[in-house]
């Protein structure tokens, strides 16, 4: 088999990365900001901070939902979300004058600190990074495919880059950054050094990105990775006698559903919960447990509001291989697995990766500036010769 | 000359992918200023007076093994909590309960301030099709209303 030349690998490195460098750079930057979007929100919006001067225990989300219901009697509370301990809990609701609103409730004091009706910074950054705000319809977004496909280019850039950069491991032992030998040398050293020290990060981003691509195909093909939440049989719903104009109400409250969830999974910490959207719907509770590598939605329960039956329950112990992949991808991609410190590490390496696409393009630019100038001079000379004749 | 003509291209070709980044601006504007087709005339179904509003004029799409078309269902009269079940489908007739009750497609959902539905439809809408909304109250009584499809919704 003929040996492929280093020049070929170098050209391939350029082919897979240069045409998309600007888009890739944007996706890297938005992802880098998205990683610390919770912390930026905490810094910029004092109402989002869960201040706890009296060291009170966190109230359960069911209590926070009741607080919102009492404050806004005409509201319909639809669900709640919890985040890091230093951020408020969010209770989602609609009201006569609010089609969709989020109450920022301090989980320690129970105070409603803000009502947010617009798009949040966290939601905006994550949507911008994940699908470039391209609309979703029929289970897919072109933007989501575009972003996920970057994983293929990133993986190809990593592999070809390492093939071109012979003995790259030397950068770990004797890192080289020549700052006084011209811009070209500095850029090349920066690009190589960043690349070698980011191998682990690029590999994680590529692999999780490829998983997101697979997941997008599953969504598009209407294939459920996790079984769809069960629907209550219509026959199970009560029927009220004719002449009685009252309506039936569920006998199990959300607080009771939360207790049932914690009985089933003692380590369960609610992170996203929703109330039934129709009479045949259930309470849906998603949360995290004690598993380091799993996301905050790795425990899932559907609880029948009419009977209190736990109709379905899943946890890391019962997951299939593909479900496990689904639940470990996010902590690896977002860097949330070790809390705020790993997020900052991911943030720094996100900046480095964004910088690599810029240094890569600058290297291409410097390499070609002379060629462009020569071509322009040649064109001028040809023109002048033509005029003289 | 060929080389000279390609100079601009050679200089800028690697910046063109950045043009894709104009789309997020457009889509952000669209999401901040949503526009919907007009709501259809309200009809009485027992104690409820409802008016469907299609979310767009596009063809049905596949959602969990059915083709569906999304509507917002505005309740002008009647308490939504008095509804035991509600469904919507598009076709020449209202689907029987045995079919409507089999999955979440076609079920009216939301909260007391508004309802939404993925109305079960065929792949392609026809002039003979109508939107059918079927609502059952807690006393077990069904009411059905029909809206002929407007021409702008037909292919």
Q: What is the pLDDT along chain A (389 residues), one digit of tens a residue?
A: 557 888 999 999 999 999 999 999 999 999 999 999 999 999 999 999 999 999 999 999 999 999 999 999 999 999 999 999 999 999 999 999 999 999 999 999 999 999 999 899 999 999 999 999 999 988 899 999 999 999 999 999 999 999 999 899 999 999 999 999 999 999 999 999 999 999 999 999 999 999 999 999 999 998 999 998 899 999 999 998 887 777 788 999 999 999 999 999 999 999 999 999 999 999 999 999 988 899 999 999 999 999 999 999 999 999 999 999 999 999 999 999 999 999 999 999 999 999 999 999 999 998 887 777 777 777 666 666 666 55
Distance from CA of B135 to the nearest CA of A (A): 12
- Neighbouring residues of A205: CB distance < 8 A, sequence distance ≥ 6: A151, A154, A333, A353
> With contact defined as beta carbons under 8 Å apart, do B125 and B67 qualify?
no
Chain A nearest-CA residue for B108: A278
Cβ <8 Å between B63 and A376: no
| Sign of CA pseudo-dihedral B18, B21, B23, B26 | negative
Residues β-bridged to residue A77: A93
Cβ <8 Å between B23 and A134: yes
Beta carbon pairs, A and B, within 8 Å: 127
Question: A234 contacts in B (CB within 8 Å)?
Answer: 85, 97, 101
Chain A nearest-CA residue for B69: A138
Q: The tokens of A312 are what?
A: 């379905």
pLDDT in the model for residue B148:
97
From B11, B15, B103, residue closest to A22, measured CB to CB: B15
Distance separating alpha carbons of residues B152 and B155, to the nearest angstrom: 8
Question: A23 contacts in B (CB within 8 Å)?
Answer: 17-18, 20-21
Distance separating alpha carbons of residues A4 and A12, to the nearest angstrom: 11
* Per-residue model confidence as pLDDT tens digits over B128-138: 999 999 999 99
Question: B31 contacts in A (CB within 8 Å)?
Answer: 133, 135
Cβ <8 Å between A372 and B10: yes
Distance from CA of A26 to the nearest CA of B (A): 8
pLDDT in the model for residue B2:
41
CA distances from A139 to A219, B71, B110 (A): 6, 17, 20
CA distances from B19 to A20, A143, A153, B12, B14 (A): 11, 13, 18, 12, 11
Cβ <8 Å between A222 and B64: yes
Cβ <8 Å between B112 and A76: yes
Distance separating alpha carbons of residues A26 and B21, to the nearest angstrom: 8
From A135, A278, A376, residue closest to B109, measured CB to CB: A278
CA distances from A104 to A78, A117, A326, B22, B23 (A): 14, 11, 29, 33, 31
**Crossing angle, helix A6-17 and helix A142-164, to 10 degrees?**
160
Choose among A58, A3, A11: nearest CA to A270.
A58
> With contact defined as beta carbons under 8 Å apart, do B37 and B53 qualify?
yes
> With contact defined as beta carbons under 8 Å apart, do A168 and A162 qualify?
yes
Residues of chain B with pLDDT under 50: 1-4
Distance separating alpha carbons of residues A289 and A249, to the nearest angstrom: 32
Distance separating alpha carbons of residues B104 and B120, to the nearest angstrom: 10
From A242, A278, A375, residue closest to B107, measured CB to CB: A278
Distance separating alpha carbons of residues A282 and A280, to the nearest angstrom: 7
pLDDT in the model for residue A244:
75
3-state secondary structure of B5: helix
Distance separating alpha carbons of residues A132 and A375, to the nearest angstrom: 38
pLDDT in the model for residue B7:
75
Distance from CA of B55 to the nearest CA of A (A): 11
Strand residues in B5-155 grouped as ranges (E): 43-45, 48-54, 61-63, 66-77, 83-91, 109-111, 114-121, 130-137, 142-148
Cβ <8 Å between A22 and B18: yes
Interface test with B, best of A247, A274, A361, A383 (most B CBs within 10 A): A247
CA distances from B114 to A75, A117, B146 (A): 12, 17, 20
pLDDT in the model for residue B1:
39
Cβ <8 Å between B62 and A222: yes
Q: Please report, to the nearest 10 degrees, the dihedral formed by the alpha carbons of residues A78, A83, A88, A91 taken in order.
A: 0
Q: The tokens of A331 are what?
A: 């902590």
Question: A278 contacts in B (CB within 8 Å)?
Answer: 85-86, 107-110
Cβ <8 Å between A26 and B18: yes
3-state secondary structure of B117: strand
From A279, A378, A379, residue closest to B85, measured CB to CB: A279
Chain A nearest-CA residue for B61: A138
Q: What is the three-state SS of chain A?
A: CCCCCHHHHHHHHHHHHCCCHHHHHHHHHHHHHHHCHHHHHHHHCHHHECCCCCCCCCCCHHHHHHHHHHHCCCCEEEEEECCCCCECEEEEEEECCEEEEEEEECCCCCCEEEEECCCCHHHHHHHHHHHCCCCCECCECHHHHHHHHHHHHHHHHHHHHHHHCCCCCHHHHCCCCCCCCCHHHHHHHHHHHHHHHCHHHHHHHHHHHHHHHHHHHHHHCCCCCCCCCCCCCHHHCCCCCCCCCCCCCCCCCHHHHHHHHHHHCCCCEEEEEECCCCCCCCEEEEEECCCCCCCCCCEEEEECCCCCCEEEEECHHHCCHHHHHHHHHHHHHHCCCCCHHHHHHHHHHHHHHHHHHHHHHHHHHHHHHHHHHHHHHHHHHHHHHHHHC
Q: What is the ipTM of this complex?
A: 0.90
Distance separating alpha carbons of residues A50 and A87, to the nearest angstrom: 5
Distance separating alpha carbons of residues A213 and A205, to the nearest angstrom: 12
**pTM, two decimal places:** 0.91
């Amino acid at each position: 088999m003929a040996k492929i030349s280093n020049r070929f690998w170098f050209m391939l490195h350029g082919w897979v990365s240069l045409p998309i460098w600007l888009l890739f750079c944007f996706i890297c930057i938005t992802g880098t900001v998205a990683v610390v979007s919770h912390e930026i929100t905490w810094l910029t919006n004092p109402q989002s901070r869960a201040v706890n001067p009296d060291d009170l225990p966190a109230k359960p989300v069911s209590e926070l939902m009741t607080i919102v219901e009492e404050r806004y009697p005409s509201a319909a509370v639809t669900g709640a979300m919890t985040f890091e301990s230093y951020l408020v809990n969010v209770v989602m609701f609609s009201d006569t004058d609010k089609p969709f609103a989020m109450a920022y409730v301090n989980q320690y004091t129970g105070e409603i600190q803000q009502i947010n009706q617009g798009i949040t910074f966290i939601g905006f950054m994550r949507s911008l990074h994940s699908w470039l705000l391209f609309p979703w319809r029929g289970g897919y977004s072109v933007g989501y495919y575009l972003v996920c496909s970057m994983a293929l280019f990133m993986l190809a850039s990593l592999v070809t880059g390492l093939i071109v950069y012979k003995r790259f491991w030397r950068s770990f032992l004797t890192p080289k950054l020549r700052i006084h030998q011209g811009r070209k040398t500095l850029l090349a050293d920066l690009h190589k050094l960043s690349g070698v020290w980011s191998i682990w990060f690029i590999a994680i981003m590529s692999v999780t990105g490829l998983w997101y691509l697979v997941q997008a195909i599953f969504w598009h093909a209407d294939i459920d990775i996790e079984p769809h939440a069960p629907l209550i049989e219509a026959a199970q719903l009560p029927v009220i006698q004719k002449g009685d104009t009252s309506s039936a109400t569920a006998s199990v409250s959300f607080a009771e559903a939360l207790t049932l969830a914690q009985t089933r999974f003692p380590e369960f910490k609610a992170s996203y919960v929703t109330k039934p959207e129709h009479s045949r719907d259930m309470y849906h509770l998603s949360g995290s447990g004690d598993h380091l590598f799993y996301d905050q939605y790795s425990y899932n329960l559907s609880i029948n509001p009419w009977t209190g039956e736990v109709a379905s329950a899943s946890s890391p112990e019962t997951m299939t291989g593909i479900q496990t992949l689904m639940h470990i991808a996010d902590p690896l991609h977002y860097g949330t697995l070790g809390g705020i410190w790993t997020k900052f590490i991911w943030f720094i390496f996100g900046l480095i990766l964004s910088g690599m696409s810029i240094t890569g393009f600058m290297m291409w630019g410097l390499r070609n500036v002379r060629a462009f100038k020569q071509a322009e001079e040649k064109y001028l000379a040809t023109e002048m010769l033509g005029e003289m004749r | 000359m060929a080389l000279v003509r390609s100079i601009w291209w050679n200089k800028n070709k690697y910046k063109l992918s950045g043009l894709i980044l104009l789309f997020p601006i457009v889509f952000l504007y669209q999401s901040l200023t949503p526009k919907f087709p007009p709501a259809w005339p309200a009809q009485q179904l027992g104690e409820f007076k409802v008016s469907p509003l299609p979310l767009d004029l596009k063809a049905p799409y596949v959602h969990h093994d059915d083709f569906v078309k999304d509507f917002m269902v505005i309740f002008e009269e009647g308490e939504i909590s008095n509804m035991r079940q509600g469904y919507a489908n598009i076709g020449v007739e209202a689907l029987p309960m045995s079919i409507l009750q089999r999955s979440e497609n076609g079920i009216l959902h939301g909260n007391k301030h508004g309802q939404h539905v993925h109305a079960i439809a065929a792949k392609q809408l026809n002039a003979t099709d109508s939107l059918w909304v079927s609502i059952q109250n807690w006393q077990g009584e069904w009411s059905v209303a029909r809206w002929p499809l407007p021409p702008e919704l037909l292919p």
